[in-house]
Structure 1
Amino acid sequence: MALDQTRTPVFDALKQYVDQGTIPFHVPGHKQGEGLPEFTDFVGKRVMEMDLTCMPDLDNICNPRGPIKDAEALTAEAYGADQAFFLTNGTTSGIQAMIMAVCQPGDKIILPRNAHKSAISGLIISGVRPVYLEPEMQSDFGVSMGISPEQVERALKVHPDAKAVFVINPNYYGTASDLEGIVRAAHAVGVPVIADEAHGAHLYFSDELPLSAMKAGVDLAATSTHKLAGSLTQSSILLIREGLINPQHVKAVLNLGQTTSPSYILLASLDVARKQMALKGRQLVSDMLERTYWLRRELGKIAGIRLLEKQTGATGCHSFDSTKITINVQGLGMSGYEMEKILRSEYRIQVELSDLYNVIILMSIGDTWEAITNLLVVVREMAAKRPHKNVLKFLPPLPALPEVSVLPREAFYSQTKLIPLEEAEGEISAESIMAYPPGIPLVCPGEVISRDLIEYVVVLKQENADLQGPEDPSLEKIKVIKEVLHMSQAPDAEEVG
């Protein structure tokens, strides 16, 4: 029997507590805003009254039996899952929990090299051995795409002891792998598939977009409802398909890092966002796509810019999420960084991401015709002011995947030292370096630093690329291993695709 998706159990319990006018002799210590008047004056008394903690009538997120349990059941049905768990520490916590739920320390996991840094941190926390697959590249835009079922099949043959396959659905630029094919390849040998669906909370509600993880048969998916489905920042959900996955074990893993004081404002926003998507999601996404297609058509008419589209024939782009509008501005004589800066400083428009070549416009259910029309007018004005010539920026070919010397976890916990990057050849990195574009880690903890990698980083620095991860933001120095505390046999983390 279908559940009543008009219900909002957490939100209703929260409203009931506030409406009763309960006198609080419990945390939080601001006591409904009385202890923080300046902040309360700005955000409003009602928000502070809603900032509550676990108590009998509001349930407990670590062992839900009441409103949270009911709301999670409604969410599972709304997203086509068998079970769902609310997350108040973002999709990052879900990704880390997924890895820990399917792998034990020392186990192997197959994952694309352009996995989010939360996956790399998940490897460090769990002690899992990575087997990296190199995603296909789109050279004109300098962005990474997806992986193919064939790559996964080969990896599973080379590493039959792998415990899971990790996928991204879709990536930051909107490209999605053949998820059904990957699931078939993994399930054929009894291996679960887990998905980073941070940028895909809207996929389930449209047939014009890439398949959602649950529709494709994925076993576990962490989904950022706050990004594209209306809930508040830091609120996400973990979706489960039963069979190869034990939901009770997943919950036990989540509870290892789950706060015992979750934000009920975030939980209530998840509850209401689920209701909205369950009842109106298909229409909301349809309207969003109508605005997206119009904006894409109009932007495509502007001389000097190009838009990333589905890459016909590319195995790494089986399908494409058009709501991520990647605008290449090289033809305007600009870098993406310059475009972002001008949009913000002169026009008060903030894009989602910029890199050497591009800016990303992220469409969602909250965009209005007025907002996108204003954006179009601004981009037309900027293009009219620019000479149409290629910007002198380039992205050299990525260096080969580094040799893996120790597990990411061992590298993180080893004795380390900071040395000049130019002198780091042959050293084992104790940190990650990630470059945008293409969003692929150049080196991860435990990997050997090559001369090619050093030279690549130097070029990116000269081009003012966005380099993330190192403790030294200037990347004049890099943290390397001085002494490995528990050296293990070198992990099998080679690229096999």
Structure 2
Amino acid sequence: MEKELFDQKRAPIYEALQTFRNMRVVPFDVPGHKHGRGNPELTDFLGEQCVGIDVNSMKPLDNLCHPVSVIREAEMLAADAFGAAHAFFMVGGTTSAVQSMVLSCCKRGDKIILPRNVHRSVINALVLCGAIPVYVNPEVDKRLGISLGMSRAQVKKAISAHPDAVAVLANNPTYYGICSDLRAIVKMAHDAGMVCLVDEAHGTHFYFGDKMPVSAMAAGADMTAVSMHKSGGSLTQSSLLLTGENISAGHVRQIINLTQTTSGSYLLMSSLDISRRNLALRGKDVFRKVVEMADYAREEINAVGGYYAYGSELINGDSIFDFDPTKLSVHTRDIGLAGIEVYDILRDEYDIQIEFGDIGNILAYLSIGDRMQELERLVSALAEIRRRYQRDPSGLLSQEYIDPEVVSSPQQAFYAEKKSIPLHESAGYVCSEFVMCYPPGIPILAPGERITREILDYIEYAKEKGCSMTGPEDPKIEYINVLEEDGRADESVV
């Protein structure tokens, strides 16, 4: 596709599906519901238009594993819209994009520099490939109890101590809206001969909004995973993997095809195609309105008293280099309620579903589909919750992030001989599985980390407050898998 043919008004997959719908093709292929006829209850629930385009790969519709026509054109348009050399449509969520990104750069024994407060998908990738994490423990805002970005000094120190590392990975932004100095991190990585990877799950709007923090591609990163389904408006589980000029697109495609389905959903792919077109044509205006709504909500919530809806005033030029203005993060601890308690009250008593609540904060995720009247409803509900439920905050835990003691690589610990013991008896053992609150999906414990009394107290507190705990083999999280032999690994892990 020549440069002059990058017409962002086009949506090639959508157009091909429209043509297919009008052809009245007789289906002797999969899926077995045959355009919905074989599953009338599903058709009634989702609608004929939806199930009618839930089809298999065929020549006119291209193939996600090896795109040569309409999917290739759609990916090229996405790359152009996001300022990337290549874009890959991902139908396994940003988890799949993050894992493909890491697996493209790291193999067994390679070191990768990254913050410990990463999404579990990053550590899952290390379990799969056997790479060794070099953790940069983030600074913590003690008042808010949240982990911050990667400071330049910490990254520089890690690179200096581990010049043989192959990659540096950054979260940008964090769930709470905190951004690192991405340009500086990219430069430090490149100067050391390392690639720079970015988990940009919550940063789709950085590419289209005005006066936003710098995007990964604009900062010169080599690869980034972007959750189009979060702030970009596509269907859940659809995502993009973007790469820069110095990354082999053919190699990345091979890595993606190791784990991604060979039966790519055209519902998900068309939603990526249509959403990219929407953002390219209208994103700047749309996200300007989102920022205006977020600014209004922050001002109103702070006027209620007790809460702290934080924003760009936190910027310190380093570990909080910038702030995502669309993020409506609210500290709740000063009214005597954990964030998860406010989360539950909003849902159960006010029919308001926010993104998540942790032990000290809530996040209301604002994006292209929000309206001002719904924000006013949220503000009113928070004011009423404060009036009805406020209590003495003494005794509430405040810190969300606990520095881990890493004993072995995630892969070694995950596949090692293990035993199941009661959680309350596990202090001192090395964990062989994950424990986390979801969302946000940042592990409290990851395979290979020492279990401490502080961590156990945190887990019990989070369970008591009603956080949704995931990860362990035991669904009740009363037992935990630990290494049979508590010896330090031969591998050097930081």
What interval of TM-score do these two structures reach, taking the shorter chain for normalisation?
over 0.9
Q: How do 1:189-268 residues align onto structure 2 when only pairs under 5 Å count? A: 189-243=192-246, 245-268=247-270
**Alpha-carbon deviation of 1:175?**
0.3
Q: Show the counterpart of 1:409.
A: 411
Q: Show the counterpart of 1:44.
A: 47
> 356-365 or 395-404, which moves further after superposition?
395-404
- 1:480 corresponds, among 446, 466, 482, to 482
Q: Which runs of 5+ in 1 are unaligned?
A: none
- 1:384 corresponds, among 379, 384, 387, to 387
Q: Distance in 1 between matches of 2:194 and 2:75?
A: 26
Q: Distance in 1 between matches of 2:400 and 2:62?
A: 53
**Alpha-carbon deviation of 1:225?**
0.4
- 2:35 corresponds, among 32, 43, 47, to 32
Q: Distance in 2 between matches of 1:491 and 1:61?
A: 38
Q: Show the counterpart of 1:142.
A: 145
Q: Distance in 2 between matches of 1:363 and 1:85?
A: 26
What residue identity is the alignment partner of 1:361? A
Q: Distance in 1 between matches of 2:12 and 2:182?
A: 33
Aligned positions, number: 490
List 4+ stretches of structure 1 deviating above 6 A. Answer: 436-439
Q: Show the counterpart of 1:7.
A: 10
- 1:331 corresponds, among 334, 338, 354, to 334
**Alpha-carbon deviation of 1:260?**
1.1
- Percent of matched pairs sharing the same residue: 41
- 1:393 corresponds, among 396, 404, 427, to 396
Residues 471 and 78 of structure 1: is their aligned pair in 2 closer, same or farther, counting only changes over 3 Å? Answer: same
Residues 397 and 141 of structure 1: is their aligned pair in 2 closer, same or farther, counting only changes over 3 Å? Answer: closer
Q: How do 1:397-476 residues align onto structure 2 when only pairs under 5 Å count? A: 400-405=403-408, 407-434=409-436, 441-458=443-460, 460-461=462-463, 467-476=469-478
Q: Show the counterpart of 2:493.
A: 493
Q: Is the 8 A contact 1:335 1:391 kept in 2?
A: no
Q: Secondary structure at the match of 2:112?
A: strand
> 36-45 or 111-120, which moves further after superposition?
36-45
Q: Is the 8 A contact 1:433 1:468 kept in 2?
A: yes
Residues 358 and 455 of structure 1: is their aligned pair in 2 closer, same or farther, counting only changes over 3 Å? Answer: closer
**Alpha-carbon deviation of 1:315?**
2.8
Residues 124 and 382 of structure 1: is their aligned pair in 2 closer, same or farther, counting only changes over 3 Å? Answer: same
Residues 425 and 381 of structure 1: is their aligned pair in 2 closer, same or farther, counting only changes over 3 Å? Answer: closer
- 1:53 corresponds, among 44, 56, 59, to 56
Q: Is the 8 A contact 1:179 1:211 kept in 2?
A: yes
**Alpha-carbon deviation of 1:28?**
0.4
Q: Show the counterpart of 1:98.
A: 101
> 434-443 or 110-119, which moves further after superposition?
434-443
**Alpha-carbon deviation of 1:442?**
3.6
> 308-317 or 110-119, which moves further after superposition?
308-317
1:288 aligns with 2:258: no
Q: Distance in 2 between matches of 1:424 and 1:161?
A: 34
Q: Show the counterpart of 1:318.
A: 321
What residue identity is the alignment partner of 1:168? N
Deviation string 1:338-365 (CA, Å, 9 cap, x unpaired) is 2112211222110000112221111001
1:359 aligns with 2:362: yes
Q: Which runs of 5+ in 2 are unaligned?
A: none
> 371-380 or 72-81, which moves further after superposition?
371-380
> 5-14 or 435-444, which moves further after superposition?
435-444
Residues 190 and 397 of structure 1: is their aligned pair in 2 closer, same or farther, counting only changes over 3 Å? Answer: same
**Alpha-carbon deviation of 1:252?**
0.7
**Alpha-carbon deviation of 1:475?**
3.3
**Alpha-carbon deviation of 1:173?**
0.5
Q: Distance in 1 between matches of 2:44 and 2:36?
A: 9
Q: Show the counterpart of 1:168.
A: 171
Q: Is the 8 A contact 1:356 1:436 kept in 2?
A: no
For normalisation by structure 2, the TM-score amounts to 0.94
**Alpha-carbon deviation of 1:435?**
5.2
Q: Is the 8 A contact 1:404 1:491 kept in 2?
A: no
Residues 461 and 488 of structure 1: is their aligned pair in 2 closer, same or farther, counting only changes over 3 Å? Answer: closer
Q: Show the counterpart of 2:113.
A: 110
Q: Is the 8 A contact 2:356 2:439 kept in 1?
A: no
Q: Is the 8 A contact 2:167 2:197 kept in 1?
A: yes
Q: Distance in 2 between matches of 1:399 and 1:279?
A: 43
Deviation string 1:191-228 (CA, Å, 9 cap, x unpaired) is 11011111011111124221111111111001000000
Q: Show the counterpart of 2:80.
A: 77
Deviation string 1:219-254 (CA, Å, 9 cap, x unpaired) is 1001000000111000000001012x2111111100
Q: Secondary structure at the match of 1:283?
A: helix
Residues 418 and 295 of structure 1: is their aligned pair in 2 closer, same or farther, counting only changes over 3 Å? Answer: same
